[in-house]
Amino acid sequence: MAQVLDGKAHAECMVAEVQAAVAARTAAGRRPPCLAVILVGEDPASQVYVRGKVKACAQTGIRSLEFRPSAELPQAELEALVDRLNEDPEVDGILVQLPLPGHLDAKAALHRISPAKDVDGFHPVNQGLLLEGLPALRPCTPSACMHMLAAHGVELKGRHAVMLGRSEIVGKPMALMLLEQHATVTIAHSRTRDLPAVCAQADLLVAAVGRPGLVEGSWIKPGAVVVDVGINRVEDPVLARRIFQADPAKLKAVEERGWVLCGDVRFAEAMAVASAVTPVPGGVGPLTIAGLMKNTLQACESQVG
């Protein structure tokens, strides 16, 4: 059986580190870092994510400000809010929760955030710095994956890493971070031919696709390390019976409770083939929020010292 890479435990360590650094700042008479979160509309999943982020701020001593404009907010008003927060010296980090309602231009809003306050690391300036391998605010999810791999001593140099998914948020920055650590990187995506064969070459397989149980055990090279970024809610019993054949607990949850969370990888099948696997939930997710806290502290220290 593979080792389960416990993201929760690592996240607790990271949160404790940020907490100690914030406490040291305030003990030295400096103000705590401050994160402004903008949530437009009432998307239920986004509300859960924002609640988690605000809770993590409270836990670490970071001040949080929440802005919750209605779903009808015009683009100009969203950008005016970002401008105001950019100019506010008391605010170190700005986060616009995605997805935005359909009429809003998410890219334009994200590009409006000052690169120094871009704690999600999505601004082209920060993405460009990452491309050049220079210090920057880096996207939290791929940074969290790299943190977990380093903490487990996973060797990347010269190994073949397959990044499944090419989003701006996870796939592309993760591929760059793996390359920076001297892995040989393949980026696979929805148009890749013979995906199982490509995945089967991977010493390290990272899945960020958003398709529940897409990656089967037979796609995984024996002994590979598997990082599952996907977070999917499965309610359909037919789909559940197909993807949870080897996972009676998840199947039971769907049958009895009506839903279950799972990743892009069939966890139980992966556990029988790989050397290490991240679970969903409890893998990459908690580390992503801890990474956001770290970025907010970094943004504060680089702006106000």
96 or 229: whose CB is closer to ligand NAD?
A: 229
**Binds ligand NAD by CB under 6 A, chosen from 174, 230, 240, 294:** 230
State yes or no: is 97 an active-site residue: yes
Joined together, the tokens standing for residue 190 give: 């929805």
Regarding 141 and contact with ligand NAD (CB under 6 A), the answer is yes
Amino acid in the structure at residue 114: S
Per CB under 6 A, 211 contacts ligand NAD: yes
> What are all long-range contacts of 147-155, with beta carbons under 8 Å and residues at least 24 apart?
147/10, 147/14, 147/287, 147/291, 148/5, 148/7, 148/10, 148/227, 148/278, 148/283, 148/284, 148/287, 149/204, 149/225, 149/227, 151/10, 152/3, 152/5, 152/225, 152/276, 154/204, 154/225, 154/276
Within residues 182-201, the interface with ligand NAD by CB under 6 A covers: 189-190, 195
**Rg of the chain on CA atoms, in Å:** 20
Q: Is position 209 an interface residue for ligand NAD (rule: CB under 6 A)?
A: yes
Does 86 interact with ligand NAD (rule: CB under 6 A)? no
**Structure token digits, residue 210:** 């958003």
235-251 CB burial, b ≥16 within 10 A, e <16: eeeeebeebbebbeebb
According to the binding rule CB under 6 A, does residue 229 interact with ligand NAD?
Answer: yes
**How far is residue 37's CA from residue 53's CA, in Å, rounded to a whole number?**
9
Least distance to ligand NAD from the beta carbon of 227, Å? 10
Q: Is 203 among the residues known to form the active site?
A: no
Active-site residue, selected from the candidate residues 92, 97, 264, 298? 97
The DSSP result for 13-25, as a single string, is: HHHHHHHHHHHHH
Catalytic residue among 92, 118, 120, 228: 120
Identify the CA nearest to 22 among candidates 73, 59, 61. 61
Q: Which residue lies nearer to ligand NAD by CB, 63 or 166? A: 166
94 binds ligand NAD (CB under 6 A): no
- Note whether 208 binds ligand NAD by CB under 6 A: yes
Sheet of strand 204-207: strand arrangement: 3-4, 276-277, 225-228, 204-207, 160-164, 184-188
Question: Quick one: which segment of 123-131, 160-168, 240-248, 295-303 binds ligand NAD (CB under 6 A)?
Answer: 160-168
Candidate segments 129-137, 225-233, 242-250, 253-261, binder of ligand NAD by CB under 6 A: 225-233
- Residue 169 binds ligand NAD (CB under 6 A): yes
Is 55 in the active site? no
Of the candidates 236, 224, 220, 227, the one whose C-alpha atom is nearest the C-alpha of residue 263 is: 227
Residue range at the interface with ligand NAD (CB under 6 A); choices 168-176, 177-185, 244-252, 295-303: 168-176
Taking residues 47 to 66 in sequence order and writing x for each that binds ligand NAD by CB under 6 A, - otherwise, the string is: --------------------
> Which residues are catalytic, by number?
53, 97, 120
Binding site for ligand NAD (CB under 6 A): 141, 164-167, 169-171, 189-190, 195, 208-211, 214, 229-232, 284-285, 288
